[in-house]
Structure 1
Amino acid sequence: MRQLHFNLFIHGCGHHRAAWRHPDSQVERLGDARFYEELTQLAEKGKLDAIFFADGQSTDNVADGPRWFLEPLTLMSALARATERIGLISTVSSTFYTPFVAARMLCSLDHVSQGRMGWNVVTSMFDAEARNHGYAAMPDHAWRYARAEEFVDTALKLFDSWTDDALAMNRQGDYARVDKVRQIHHQGEHFLVDGPLTLPRSPQGQPVLFQAGASEQGRDLAARKAEAIYAVAYDLPSAQAYYRDMKRRVQATGRGVPLPIMPGLVTYVGSTMEEARRKQRELDELLPAETSLRQLGTFVGQDCMGWDLDAPVPPLPPLESFKGPKGRYATVLRIIQTEQPTVRELLGRLAAGGGHCTMVGTPESIADQIELWWRNEGADGFNLMPPSLPGGIRDFVEQVIPVLQKRGLFRQDYEHRTLRGHLGLERPASL
């Protein structure tokens, strides 16, 4: 029976840019692995499918607040040992990693977690990141996506370079069967990799591959390669357009995978609507205008620091000519078109989640909206982006999840031990 999927997207003190300023924030613990262990255990208590970490290869104005801290793949080892069932997903940059390094780390973590790893492949986006990895500027969009596809193909071949029955562990004979461990002899435009991987095939066969394709090339790559998709959707119509397009693309490839689509979701939960709005207002009032304008500049690819806060948003270039991440930019354009906000109003709208769907209300009203999206081709589930941590995910787990469980829309308990099992995905057969 089809049910909702939820991941917890862990990011600093929460996805609201001012969350770290709140008196209840745990900003002092961002370097403490136990902080993330507690968040992951809370998500596991709610029977969520997985936790997820984004990653960045540069940092912007450090005065604005925390952005990146612990490197996520390193942190996954601690989280794997602190939990039993919940999936663990980390972002991996195909522009800056090599397939062998990524595959070795991910396969190792799948063994450590006993089959709970996933990887979210990104092409990265900023020149500041590129300059930390030997590039003068970020390579162009087409080059990055060509490299991403070859990166994924090569990593998948490495995951399968040991068959499931390769280990003999015969103390009087061979440790592994030589004919069951193969070099991959990959030679492409971007990578030269002999293989095989240095460790046996992992419990899931291959860690679950996530992708967030927004551009034409990104959507095409996701349709052909991804096993689950993250999305940006401001409202139900935009979510439905993306959902239907991706399902159509997947069907056209002939792949028989469920491909869960999970838009980002920011929630403010209160016992009353007034309480929920108060929680939202408390965070919005802590955000300096300068920080907000700097964040907006990142989203729209231009300097916004001189914009008049109480004037309409200045005209922005059409989506087709925008060089940065198109999914987020398309969302900003949609907000402007739909709401015609002043600059100040737009900043408030983007403060938490940067334009992802935001639901403010009681547990029942939020559950109603989630169910509406789920039943009407808007989402198979959501990538939860709490505005504050740990409070935002605690509210969702303790108040919204029970409502969804009572309606039969979400699991009462885990039925599987692997991330593939949680997502309804089959284990790939070994070659």
Structure 2
Amino acid sequence: MASRRKQLHLAAHFPGVNNTTVWTDPQSRSQIDFSSFEALARSAEAATFDFFFLAEGLRLRESHGKIHDLDVVGRPESITVLNALAAVTDRLGLAATVNATFNEPYEIARRFATLDHLSGGRAAWNVVTTSDAFTGENFRRGGYLDHADRYTRAQEFVDATRTLWDSWDSDALVLDQQTGRVAEPGAGRFGHRGAQFEISGQFGVPRSPQGHPVIIQAGDSSAGRDFAARDADVIFTRHGTLQAGQEFYHDVKRRLSDFGRQRDDLKIMPGVTVVVADTDAEAEEKAAHIRRQQVSGATALHLAELLWGIDLSDRDPDGPLPAEDPVVGSAVVQGRVQHSKDPLATAKKWREAAEANGWSLRETVIAQQNRQSFIGSPQTVATALDEYVQADAADGYILVPHLTPGGLDDVFERVVPLLRERGVFRTEYDGATLREHLGLPTPAPGRVRTGAA
């Protein structure tokens, strides 16, 4: 008997801290008005997506002392937005990015547990970290955290929040006919003592319908992969080819057993862009137009500055790449992560590609943006999404639109029906909680996690 095909997991991303969105397109709507968040969330739920994903930064980035032209000024705080979306959706998971460096476990545990109750068990926390002193200036501690200590704090942060969530047993609320629900004595009592946190008290939010909010983590380093294998339910990553995706997938899945976990306990969902048109040729032309919109001359210079670490504001984006070598450790663009681990080698690679293809600086930057993309007719895109998942390059994808809130409409309306025809995507929600959508186990109260501090 043939084995059952893997089911795809899909999520909708609402960007706000990157250069994906084309702000100048006539179809682009507000990035801060609630109607935009609601429109994308409602469409994603109608398409039975697993969850709606909000990115967030803690400080507006700057370039040459001015606010970066790709950042959203006035963006509402993510959990507040999701609490409002909980009232206008019924099944869609609601995921917020919240920093583990500049927050405290009690407050984050309380906020996500509240969202989980208000939504009926649909909350998710995308755990991020930072060692950026520029961002740290917004907080009392400043930029105190060494880069190497980010995951040390984050792991203990997650342990502490889980201690709080586990402080209520699922039956700690008993129904009294006259007074309503009353807590059993001792419900919510907690204590955590570690190198990063020493806290104790009583947690005021009862255990939620899915036990714990879903934990999402993004990271590609060895430490980040171990963090995901130990603590995450979903890992959000990016890989430009099928082979790179398969290598990452197998490496992270292999690490799960080191922490006493099963292969299906962690879902790998890369962030991807999708461009759909009537034919493959039209889609390729549309994708090229979108990339030119996304990477203007000014944007190309910003992104090149991130690699070179020098002021390129007086350079011609349609001219050649800088002849200088990158300055390692520079921070010309404040509040932006330098993704290249070896700027000198990356600059060499860019120069070789530019020379071989006759590319300008802007054309090189466009070509080197390596987010995985699925481009083609609805049939081509549906086939590719399915084949990548069946080939163990992913368990599903977080789709990143170039327009909000309507940038994924072609996927919702033209691709999803084809995935359903292939028998690899649900036609309706089978459960009520996000853990049920993702096929994840519900954690038992007070469980012992292998590898926990």
Alignment match of 1:340 (pick from 325, 339, 353): 353
- Cα distance change of structure 1 residues 163 and 336 upon mapping to structure 2, 3 Å threshold: farther
- The secondary structure found in structure 2 opposite 1:88 is strand
Return closer, same or farther for 1:387/1:31 CA change in 2, 3 Å cut-off: closer
SS of match in other structure, 1:92? strand
**Does the C-alpha gap of structure 1 residues 51 and 18 become closer, same or farther in structure 2, counting only changes over 3 Å?**
closer
For the pair 1:311 / 2:326, whether they are aligned, the reply is no
Deviation at 1:253, TM superposition (A): 2.3
Does 1:5 pair with 2:5? no
* C-alpha distance in structure 2 between counterparts of 1:33 and 1:331, whole Å: 41
Q: 360, 384, 401: which is aligned to 1:369?
A: 384
Cα distance change on mapping 1:301 and 1:251 into 2, 3 Å: farther
- Structure 2 counterpart SS, 1:175: strand
Deviations 1:89-114 (A, max 9, x none): 11111101100000000000000000
Decide which structure has greater helix share.
Answer: 1
> Counterpart of 2:198?
192
Does residue 278 of structure 2 align to residue 271 of structure 1? yes
Matched residues in 2 for 1:18 and 1:7: separation?
17
Residue 31 of structure 1 aligns to which amino acid in structure 2? Answer: I
How much has 1:415 moved relative to structure 2?
0.8
The superposition leaves residues 65-87 of structure 1 with CA deviations (integer Å, 9 ceiling, x where unpaired) of 44361110110111111101110
* Alignment check: 8 A CA contact 2:301 2:362 kept: no
1:42 partner SS: helix
Conserved? CA contact 1:183–1:195, under 8 Å = yes
Paired residue for 2:412, among 391, 394, 397?
Answer: 397
Q: Is the 8 A contact 1:118 1:209 kept in 2?
A: yes
Is the 8 Å Cα contact of residues 263 and 383 (structure 1) preserved in structure 2?
yes
Verify: 1:385 aligned to 2:400, yes or no.
yes
2:217–2:236 contact (8 Å) kept in structure 1? yes
Post-superposition Cα deviations, 1:3-48, rounded to whole Å, max 9, x if no partner, equal 0001111114x9654611111111xx33321221111000111111
Three-state SS of the structure 2 residue aligned to 1:161 is coil
Higher alpha-carbon deviation: 101-110 or 354-363: 354-363
The structure 1 residue matched to 2:340, chosen from 323, 329, 335, is 329
1:248 and 2:254 are equivalent in the alignment: yes
TM-score under structure 2 length normalisation: 0.85
> What is the match of residue 32 of structure 1?
33
Number of residue equivalences = 420
Deviation, 1:318, is: 10
Aligned counterpart, 1:355: 370
Q: Which runs of 5+ in 1 are unaligned?
A: none
**CA RMSD, Structure 1 to Structure 2 (Å):** 2.9
Query: CA deviation digits over 1:270-299, x for unaligned, max 9?
Result: 112343234334434444312232134346
**1:316 to partner: Cα distance:** 6.0
Q: Hey, what's the Cα distance between the residues in 2 that align with 1:236 and 1:150? A: 34
Q: Conserved in 2, the CA contact under 8 Å of 1:110 and 1:203?
A: yes
Instruction: Indicate the larger mover: 44-53 or 183-192.
Output: 183-192
Secondary structure of 1:340 counterpart = helix
1:67 to 51, 64, 72: 72
Deviation at 1:329, TM superposition (A): 3.0
Q: Select the residue among 413, 419, 426 that pairs with 2:434.
A: 419
> 1:136: Cα distance to partner?
4.2
* Cα distance in 2 for residues equivalent to 1:170 and 1:336: 71
Aligned to 2:217: 211
Which segment is superposed worse, 62-71 or 227-236?
62-71
Secondary structure at 1:168 match in 2: strand
Cα distance, 1:195 vs structure 2: 3.2
TM-superposition CA deviations, 1:339-394 (whole Å, max 9, x none): 824432232246xxx52101221111112221231122211100101112233210
**Structure 1 residues 365 and 55 mapped into 2: Cα distance closer, same or farther (>3 Å)?**
same
Cα distance change of structure 1 residues 401 and 18 upon mapping to structure 2, 3 Å threshold: closer
Q: Which amino acid aligns with 1:158?
A: L
User: Using the alignment, how far apart are the partners of 1:299 and 1:274 within structure 2?
Assistant: 33
Three-state SS of the structure 2 residue aligned to 1:163 is: coil
